[in-house]
């Protein structure tokens, strides 16, 4: 405890260094691990304050840099229901970090100011749950974080060790649901999703997966977790293989593998071959903290075919629409999808025009998508990179339960109603979750009896390309209209539009990354060659 100045300075001096300027970005603070000690310390303080502000509810903290290279790390705060930190607190987090990065006096003043604005007392009890991914900077940064929590006198800190990001979100939510005294451990996560899987396979009479699945775990924390989880059920015996599972070798993390590598390069990761002798199978890749998943296969003529976040969203949309129809709830429950500007134009067209499912477009970052998705009764949101989930409103459970008690309903209808409930348990509703999403997709494919090709054939992606352009100052790139139009630098959008007009079926937009010091340029066009041309030309305009 550090209510007096000297003790506070003692804690500050242990980890804080001066000179770096931080900003809470798309997914919290994320930088090279060497510059993170100060912000880890202040995040310890801030997470504690957030818990006190919320009446002692447990606030989660995840130390990870997801798909970024091994030398990076990061930290983000998770609110009590498992959702991302409330927006107004992102500024407090940034201000506190930057004050500490100036000197001790600034930090002390900023802390005092925050306590006054928020009307908080450092003596009030609070709870924080923390976990980290497999990066080698994790333990050092965790220590800085824990020292930060010591600034608060009565803060209970639960260290969950090494977890996937969605496990931490889930456990944070469960801790608050179950209340004081409940034993909250990782086993709860495995139990919850495995029971839903058991229920689903029993209900649909699924004895085994229709084909084998190869999981590229990006040499990250997803590897031991998915092995432990699926290993607990004989159902999965001989049906899954984990490749790139070397999570104890941090330099291998995300290197030539993982969801981001596969999506960005549109090719197979290291360790997975397109060999036809493998027998029927599907592949998927997690990212470094297992909150993203993309699927892929190699077709009969040897082409790599990606089934990304858009394909996952459309698969679920089609499935849930039919389920609602069979359940007799199509008019009563609103199904909708949420995408970002990076969603392939063909997927948006398929959802809106072929399925008739509404699509909302939001800025990049799951916090924006989640916020819109909860406005639907069944809200499906996925970023094209494979980060997403499905959220179910309370009305779903209420209506299903009500209809379920009506004995006059047919057997098919009963089954559909039950399936709706089971899916709401199989899906990790708190945040995108590679393991839970993977099981959700495998469940749908098993029920529909679809091969990867059948899934893929629902619509054809427009050729697309995403590139990074390094610029002297990315903050000058400002956008509106869910990031689809630039308002600064003045005139640039007009030049992009003029270029796009010269191509058929084309689209392109530019925005500053929230997680890397670069500007991203996305383009779609009618052919691969045209998209290469367009993206290169727009890239040149940006430079």
Q: Give the interface with ligand NG1 as residue ranges (CB under 6 A).
A: 26-27, 66, 342, 364-365, 383, 385, 387, 513-516, 520
**Residue 215 CB neighbours (<10 A):** 26
Q: Which two tokens stand for residue 407?
A: 């004995």
SS3 content of the chain, % helix, strand, coil (to 5): 45, 20, 35
- Shortest distance, position 263 Cβ to ligand NG1, whole Å: 8
Of 283 and 385, which CB lies nearer to ligand NG1 in the complex structure? 385
Least CB distance to Zn ion at residue 71 (A): 16
Q: Which does 287 bind (CB under 5 to 8 A by kind): ligand NG1, Zn ion, none?
A: Zn ion
Exposed, middle or buried by CB within 10 Å (0-12, 13-18, 19+), for 393?
Answer: middle
Closer by beta carbon to ligand NG1, 360 or else 385: 385
| Residue 336 CB contacts under 8 Å (≥ 6 apart), including other chains | 357, 358, 359, 360, 373, 375, 376, 378, 379, 380
Q: Which of 90, 150, 287, 377 binds Zn ion (CB under 5 A)?
A: 287
What DSSP letter does each residue of 296-359 carry, written as one string? EEE-TTS-EEEE-HHHHHHHHHHHHHHHHHHHT-TTTS-EEEEEETTS-HHHHHIIIIII---E
3-class DSSP state for residue 516? coil
Residues 6+ apart with CB under 8 A from 528: 463
The stretch near Zn ion (CB under 5 A) out of 282-290, 303-311, 456-464, 534-542 is: 282-290
CA angle (469, 514, 17) in 5-degree steps: 105
> Nearer Cβ to Zn ion, position 186 or 287?
287
Rounded Cα gap, residues 530 and 317, in angstroms = 30
Q: Which of 160, 157, 221 is nearest to 188 (CA)?
A: 160
Residue 90 or 289: which CB sits closer to Zn ion?
289
Q: Which does 516 bind (CB under 5 to 8 A by kind): ligand NG1, Zn ion, none?
A: ligand NG1
Cα atoms in the Cβ-side hemisphere of radius 13 Å centred on 339: 26
- Residue 176 contact partner, candidates ligand NG1, Zn ion, none, CB within 5 to 8 A by sort of partner: none
Question: What is the x/- site pattern for Zn ion, positions 16-55, by CB under 5 A?
Answer: ----------------------------------------
DSSP summary character for residue 432: -
Catalytic residue among 66, 137, 285, 446: 66
Residue with smaller CB distance to ligand NG1, 28 or 48: 28
CA angle 334, 337, 342 (to 5 degrees): 165
Question: Is 66 one of the catalytic residues?
Answer: yes
Tell me how many residues contact Zn ion (CB under 5 A).
4
Report 288-347 residues binding Zn ion (CB under 5 A).
289, 291
Tell me the closest approach of the beta carbon of residue 120 to ligand NG1, in angstroms.
30
Shortest reach from residue 64's CB to ligand NG1, in Å: 9
Output the smallest distance, CB 515 to Zn ion, in A.
10
Q: Which does 515 bind (CB under 5 to 8 A by kind): ligand NG1, Zn ion, none?
A: ligand NG1
CA distance 109 to 164: 36
In the list Zn ion, ligand NG1, none, the entry touching 346 (Cβ below 5 to 8 angstroms by class) is: none
Selection from ligand NG1, Zn ion, none that 514 binds (CB < 5 to 8 A by kind) is: ligand NG1
Contact letters for Zn ion, residues 62-81 (x by CB under 5 A): ----x---------------
> What are the b/e assignments for 255-274, b being 16+ CB within 10 Å?
bebbbbbbbeebebbebbee
Question: Which active-site residues does the annotation give?
Answer: 66
Give the binding site for Zn ion (CB under 5 A). Answer: 66, 287, 289, 291
């Amino acid at each position: 405890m550090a209510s007096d100045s000297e003790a506070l300075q003692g804690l500050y001096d242990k980890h804080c260094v001066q000179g770096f300027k931080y900003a809470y970005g798309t997914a919290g603070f994320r930088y090279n691990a060497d510059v993170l000690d100060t912000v880890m310390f202040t995040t310890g303080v801030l997470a504690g304050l957030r818990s006190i502000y919320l009446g002692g509810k447990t606030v989660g903290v995840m130390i990870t840099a997801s798909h970024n290279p091994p030398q990076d790390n990061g930290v983000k705060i998770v609110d009590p229901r498992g959702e991302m930190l409330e927006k107004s607190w992102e500024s407090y987090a940034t201000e506190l970090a930057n004050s500490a990065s100036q000197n001790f006096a600034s930090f002390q003043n900023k802390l005092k100011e925050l306590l006054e604005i928020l009307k908080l007392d450092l003596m009030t009890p609070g709870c924080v749950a923390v976990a980290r991914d497999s990066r080698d900077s994790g333990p050092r940064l965790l220590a800085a974080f824990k020292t930060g929590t010591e600034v608060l006198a009565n803060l209970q800190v639960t260290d969950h060790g090494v977890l996937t990001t969605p496990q931490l979100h889930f456990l944070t939510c469960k801790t608050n649901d179950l209340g004081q005294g409940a034993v909250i451990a990782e086993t709860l996560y495995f139990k919850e999703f495995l029971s839903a899987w058991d229920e689903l396979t029993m209900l649909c009479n699924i004895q085994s997966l229709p084909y084998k699945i190869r999981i590229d775990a990006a040499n990250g924390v997803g590897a031991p977790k998915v092995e432990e989880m699926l290993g607990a059920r004989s159902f999965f015996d001989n049906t899954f293989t984990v490749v790139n599972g070397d999570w104890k070798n941090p330099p291998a993390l995300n290197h030539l593998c993982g969801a981001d590598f596969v999506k960005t390069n549109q090719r197979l990761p290291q360790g997975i071959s397109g060999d036809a002798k493998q027998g029927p199978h599907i592949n998927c890749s997690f990212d470094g903290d297992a909150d993203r998943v993309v699927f892929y296969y190699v077709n009969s003529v040897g082409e790599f075919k990606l089934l990304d976040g858009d394909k996952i969203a459309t698969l679920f949309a089609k499935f849930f629409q039919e389920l609602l129809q069979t359940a007799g709830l199509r008019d009563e429950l609103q199904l909708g999808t949420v995408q970002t500007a990076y969603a392939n134009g063909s997927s948006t067209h398929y959802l809106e025009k072929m399925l008739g499912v509404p699509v909302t477009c939001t800025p990049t970052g799951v916090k924006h998508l989640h916020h819109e998705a909860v406005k639907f009764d069944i809200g499906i949101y996925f970023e094209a990179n494979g980060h997403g989930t499905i959220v179910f409103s309370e009305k779903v459970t209420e209506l299903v339960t009500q209809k379920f008690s009506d004995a006059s309903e047919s057997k098919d209808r009963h089954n559909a109603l039950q399936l709706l409930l089971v899916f709401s348990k199989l899906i990790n509703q708190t945040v995108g979750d590679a393991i839970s999403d993977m099981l959700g997709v495998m469940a749908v494919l098993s029920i529909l009896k679809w091969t990867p090709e059948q899934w893929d054939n629902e619509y054809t992606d427009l050729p697309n390309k995403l590139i990074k352009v390094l610029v002297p100052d990315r903050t000058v790139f400002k956008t509106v209209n869910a990031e689809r139009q630039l308002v600064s630098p003045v005139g640039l959008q007009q030049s992009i539009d003029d270029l796009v007009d010269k191509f058929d079926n084309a689209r392109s937009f530019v925005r500053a990354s929230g997680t890397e010091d670069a500007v991203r340029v996305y383009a779609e066009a009618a052919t691969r060659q045209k998209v290469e041309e367009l993206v290169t030309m727009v890239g040149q305009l940006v430079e």
